Amino acid sequence: MTLTLTGCGSGPAGGDVTLKLIAADYGDRASNSSEHYWDELTRAFEKKNPGIKVDVEVYNWTDVDKKVEELVKAGHAPDLAQAGAYADYAAKGQLYSTDKLLSIPTEADFTPSLAEAGEYERVAYGMPFGASTRRLFYNKKLFDEAGISDPPQSWNDIVKDAELLKEHGVKMPFALPLGPEETQAETLIWMLSGGGGYTDNIGKYTIDSPENVKTFEWLQKDLVGKGLTGTDPAKLNRADAFQGFADGEVGMLNGHPTLMKQAEDNGIDYGTVELPGKNGKAKATMGVADWMMAFKAGGHRKETGKFLDFVYSKKNVLKFSGDYGLLPVTTSASQAMMADDKYAKLHGFLEQLAHAEFYPANKTSWPLVSKTIKAEMGGAVGPEGNPYGVLSDIQNLADAEDNAVR
């Protein structure tokens, strides 16, 4: 799906500048497509800045990164792209650093953990746009029917509760989506809950760490091996797991804020808690950020910066986050959301954002590593899987790719 929006007017005239933006669609149907958000925002911006036009093309998430890549390779880089990755373009010197674009108040307003995640070699190029954290969702009705009074706080609790749910006929006691759609997310969630992660505190890959190996051996033996996932995790995609929860067929799963509306639309009574860890609450949750980046090729630095200052105003960040059930990426909008009871269900997710851990998106090796994780991790926890072997293979690939790009 491609949606093209042209701001007020028919195009550049006289001294006018037209900015080109490629953006991702956060909606799940035509009525809530991001087209509507950008249409309203660009019209408001152009009214205040009559010399600048903004053309927006909205693509679904399956296509947006590929479209940006194609445009850049063809020598037609957009002025702005709002997509999933920025590091490759930063490494090639194709992006403006944020200090060349944003006013000081705007740049200083980014949530610190997100601002840091947008740095390549200690220089900020990626501007966070949409953010989320993960919590464990559970179906209150199914828990009540199975005689479970409290949500799980540890891995042992997960197994115990999943076994009770299974005994009471729940189709999928714990949904474990390690299918190719978003395996890299579910993988990191479990790594963090087991005390590990993708990288250490200096950014070196630790994919095959003892903690990570033990985590996936536990998943293989105690969750998948006991039939508590209801289906082969390698064939279950995140979207299907979410739909299963919304259909009342899933007892519990790891989810992000947009699952709340999906569940509510289907009348599911649910609760959320911090991610259970090996022996209690997980050390951290996973955070995900999508990125805005500005390409140098068009030469519209001043106009692009003016538009971005408008995009990242408190009002606009809060509206976007509220419309799509995401977390604000700025301190001012986060404070406004926390102070508003209208967003009470997002507060638990938002409180976790400051200490969340993110994908190593600042590494140019990450796209290949992520792609490999998507292809391999589901099979690692199956009956014939070898968690240590798979994690070691991915570690070796990650190290080789890091060494190759230096």
Confidence of residue 9 (pLDDT cuts 50, 70, 90): very low
Q: What is the pLDDT of residues 103-159, one digit of tens each?
A: 999 999 999 999 999 999 999 999 999 999 999 999 999 999 999 999 999 999 999
Confidence at residue 6, expressed as pLDDT on a 0 to 100 scale = 47
Residue 137 and residue 272 in contact, taking contact as beta carbons nearer than 8 Å = yes
Element (H, E) at 57: strand 52-59
What pLDDT shows up at residue 5? 54
CATH number assigned to the domain with residue range 2-131+289-353, chosen from the 4 options 3.40.50.170, 3.40.190.10, 3.90.1150.10, 3.40.225.10: 3.40.190.10
Bridge partners of residue 289, in order along the sequence: 131
Is the pLDDT assigned to residue 4 strictly greater than 80?
no
Res 116: pLDDT: 92
Chain-centre distance for alpha carbon 266:
24
β-pairing, 287-294 vs 172-174, is unpaired
pLDDT confidence of residue 405 = 54
- Give me the architecture of the 135-285+365-405 domain, per CATH: 3-Layer(aba) Sandwich (3.40)
Q: Compute the average pLDDT of residues 69-81.
A: 97
Average pLDDT over residues 178-195: 95
Average pLDDT, the chain: 93
Give pLDDT tens digits for 300-341.
Answer: 999 999 999 999 999 999 999 998 989 999 999 999 999 999
Domain extents in the chain: 2-131+289-353, 135-285+365-405
Q: What confidence score (pLDDT) does residue 181 get?
A: 87
For residue 228, what are the CA distances in angstroms to 159, 160, 163, 327, 394? 8, 10, 7, 31, 27
For residue 283, what pLDDT band results from cuts at 50, 70 and 90?
A: confident
Enter the pTM of the model. 0.87
Predicted confidence at residue 8, as pLDDT, reads 39
pLDDT range class, residue 84, cuts 50, 70, 90 = confident
User: Is 60 exceeded by the pLDDT of residue 11?
Assistant: no
Residue 354 binned pLDDT confidence (cut-offs 50, 70, 90): confident
pLDDT at position 160 is 98
As beta bridge partners, residue 250 has 172
Q: Are 62 and 2 in contact (CB under 8 A)?
A: no
**Is the pLDDT score of 246 beyond 90?**
yes
Q: How much is the average pLDDT of 47-56? A: 96
DSSP strand pairing (52-59 vs 119-120): unpaired
Confidence label for 13 from pLDDT (cuts 50, 70 and 90):
very low
